[in-house]
Amino acid sequence: MKKLLSVSALTLALTACGGGSSTDKTPDVKVEQNTAPTLSGSLTLSAKALESANLVVDLKDEQNDSVTTTIIDKPEWLTVTTSSNQVTFSAEPSLFDVANHAFTVEVSDGKASNQYTLTVNVAENRAAWQPIELSNSEVMGNWQSSDGSVQLSFATEDTGVIAQNGELSRFDWSNPDVIALNTQAIDCLHECNQQALLEMEVLAKRDDAIRVELFNVSTDKGEVVTLYKSNTELSSAYYVDMDDNTFHMVNHLNTQGEESYFEVSIASYIPTPSGSTTSFPYAEFSATLEGKTLAINGDKFITNSYANQLNKEGYEVNVEFDLNLVNAEVVAQFDNFVVLKLQHVLSYHDETDAANIVESEELTEAMKVQTSVVALQKLTPVAVPELKVGKTYTGRLNNKNSDTGEGLTFRYLPSFFTITAADTATVTFNTPISTDSFKWHYNLDNNGETVKVTGNGLDTSLQFFTQPDGKTLMVRERNKDERQARLGYEFIEVIDDSTITLDDYKHLFSYLRQDYTSGNLKTYWFINDDGKGSFYYADQYGLENRANFTPNTYWQFEADNSISFAMMSQCPSAFDYSSCKDEVLGDDEILYASLINFKIIHKEADKFIFDRLFWQRIYNYSDKEVEENIYQNSYWLGIEK
């Protein structure tokens, strides 16, 4: 009996320690595995703005758990509801929501989850458009699309600037029921031709944005775009004028409390008894930025002008007017351009004139404060480009006048130079009198970021920038004694003389610069094969009259493949250019005489850069003596079609 008890106790002990046989083990209880809920069906919802749309998809949870569906970063116009076996997505998008959207959807039973991508495509709904009228004050300001393809600055209540896909235009605008934008060339300041008529119909608005259709009446095409109020902080940057010209004014906006400086063209009008006079002076000033206001440092005087006015006795008298800057403001700054608003006013230089002049309504209006809106293009500083020895480049190294030693004053030096060695450059210039060229040599100290230039009394440095169009500018160091802004020149390799032919000159050309201030926007020359032709500098001899051109000029194709002109009226005994030139230079009695030479230094499709050498003899009434001068400039000219 004791033996049996003993065995039973041993058996119990082995069982408690897990040492029993497999036949004595208790079977495991099977636990069911949880799985995440799933969605099935297309997860693409198509909707129209201002309409409701639903999408229903199947929901399954193997364990029949309670499931929640969440749209991550859900907009207000999109909702979701969940039932035992379905999920419903509901959209009520506005006009601001027109786009293709992608959202992350999560379904969860509290223990496991799955994520899916919900696509919601919101289309335009023209049938539901209800145009909205905005007041002028609501329109005023700066707007841009999210991708920057459209940028608008309503700078004043009638003028502004628009950039569409990088192309800048200025515009006049009005706001009856549809906002109308009459666009013009960005560098045109007065009596500009219309480029396009844009109608901006506002379809929706909220505090920070408007949804509009920009419809181009000229092309019968429109685009719908959301424009957001642009109130970005101003930042320091360099800017350049928009002129199609070989030289530019390089301006600097400084937001760090230091001096900003500008030199920009404005339009000034003075009515006269026979019409009006328009000039395009440069407003030069330095300023300190205070918010968006440019607090002008120093004198605000721009220029003086003379114009005939009627006095109280009924006679025309010449009156001097002063043009002064009133204030300046940075209206807008976008990625690639800045918009300035300048206010300026005409006044009598001598206040006694005010009592003697009969002021017309037009003159009274012209002497009120006027506003100019100016757009400047952003520049990006770059390293010094490669300066290849033996190559010639456009750009003026020296601006000072030069005495040639022949009784001639060279008013400007040529706008190109040749790299003669790794550390030297040479400027070569000619006169109609001498067969020898004048040469000035300069030392170059190139540190990769700037080039210091010294020689012939010159001590300056060059910095290089690129414009948004990729063109490079060579910019001289600022000299505040000469002008407020820095001077920049297009930096282009001059073409080989041997590539220029007489056929290149057998066109009619026009200046590409909109605000060219000489009063002559076109250059006409008509070249006959007998060395005679017609040369005009004025618009009134338009293309429609070219069949009636009577030869008034001798011309000559020169050894360097340039072309020279001499006016027949100044050499009645001549029979060709050479004899005309000799007669003009040899007759000191001619009180106004000229010789002109043009040379192509760059070709770009039907656009050319011409270097112009202009010699003239004139009677200087101030000094009461005859003087001879030479002017050398370069211009962009385009072929007239």
SS (H, E, C) 216-246: ECCCCEEEEEEEEECCCCCCCEEEECCCCCC
> In whole angstroms, how large is the CA radius of gyration of the chain?
38
- pLDDT at position 201 is 95
Cα separation, 14 vs 521, in Å, equals 116
Cα separation, 25 vs 10, in Å, equals 17
Question: HEC string of 193-213?
Answer: CCCEEEEEEEEEEECCEEEEE
Q: Stretch 547-571: mean pLDDT, rounded?
A: 88
SS3 label, residue 385: coil
Of the candidates 51, 45, 41, 40, the residue with the CA atom closest to the CA atom of residue 101: 45
Task: Please check the confidence at residue 15 and state whether its pLDDT lies above 50.
Answer: no
CB atoms within 10 A of CB 255: 14
Is residue 348 packed enough to be buried (19+ CB in 10 Å), middle (13-18) or exposed (0-12)? middle
Q: Stretch 460-485: mean pLDDT, rounded?
A: 92
Mean predicted lDDT score pLDDT of the chain: 88
pLDDT level of residue 546 (50, 70, 90 thresholds): low
- Could you tell me which residue, 515 or 53, shows the higher pLDDT? 53
CA 234 to chain centre: 17
**In the chain, what are the domain boundaries?**
38-125, 129-229, 238-378, 392-490, 499-639
Q: Which residues contact 291 (CB under 8 A, 6 or more apart)?
A: none
* Options 3.40.50.10310, 1.10.10.10, 3.40.50.2300, 2.60.40.10; CATH of 38-125: 2.60.40.10
Q: What percentage of the chain carries pLDDT values higher than 70?
A: 90
Task: Please check the confidence at residue 6 and state whether its pLDDT lies above 60.
Answer: no
Helix H or strand E segment including 2: helix 2-16
Task: Please check the confidence at residue 378 and state whether its pLDDT lies above 70.
Answer: yes
Say if CB 574 and CB 583 are below 8 A apart.
yes
How many Å from the N-terminal Cα to the C-terminal Cα in the chain? 132
SS3 label, residue 529: coil
- pLDDT at position 19 is 43
Q: State the alpha helices, DSSP H only, in 101-170.
A: 136-139
SS3 label, residue 520: coil
Q: Which residues contact 519 (CB under 8 A, 6 or more apart)?
A: none
Q: Stretch 371-395: mean pLDDT, rounded?
A: 96
- Could you tell me which residue, 413 or 625, shows the higher pLDDT? 625
Say if CB 321 and CB 304 are below 8 A apart.
yes
- Could you tell me which residue, 460 or 11, shows the higher pLDDT? 460
Q: Stretch 615-628: mean pLDDT, rounded?
A: 81
Angle, CA 143 vertex, CA 141 and CA 147 arms, to 5°: 165
CATH fold of 129-229, please?
Lipocalin (2.40.128)
Task: Please check the confidence at residue 405 and state whether its pLDDT lies above 70.
Answer: no
Q: What is the dihedral of CA 475, 478, 482, 484, to 10 degrees?
A: 100
- pLDDT at position 84 is 84
pTM, entire model: 0.86
Point out the least confidently predicted range of 123-127, 283-287, 342-346, 427-431: 427-431
- pLDDT at position 514 is 66
SS3 label, residue 10: helix
pLDDT tens digits, one per residue of 76-105: 999 999 988 999 999 999 999 999 999 999
Of the candidates 85, 117, 82, 123, the residue with the CA atom closest to the CA atom of residue 103: 117
- pLDDT at position 28 is 61
Say if CB 358 and CB 311 are below 8 A apart.
yes
pLDDT tens digits, one per residue of 309-339: 999 988 999 999 999 999 999 999 999 999 9
pLDDT level of residue 243 (50, 70, 90 thresholds): confident
Cα separation, 431 vs 403, in Å, equals 12
Say if CB 346 and CB 321 are below 8 A apart.
yes
pLDDT level of residue 476 (50, 70, 90 thresholds): very high
Say if CB 375 and CB 168 are below 8 A apart.
yes
Point out the least confidently predicted range of 11-20, 50-59, 374-383, 489-498: 11-20
Q: Stretch 43-53: mean pLDDT, rounded?
A: 97
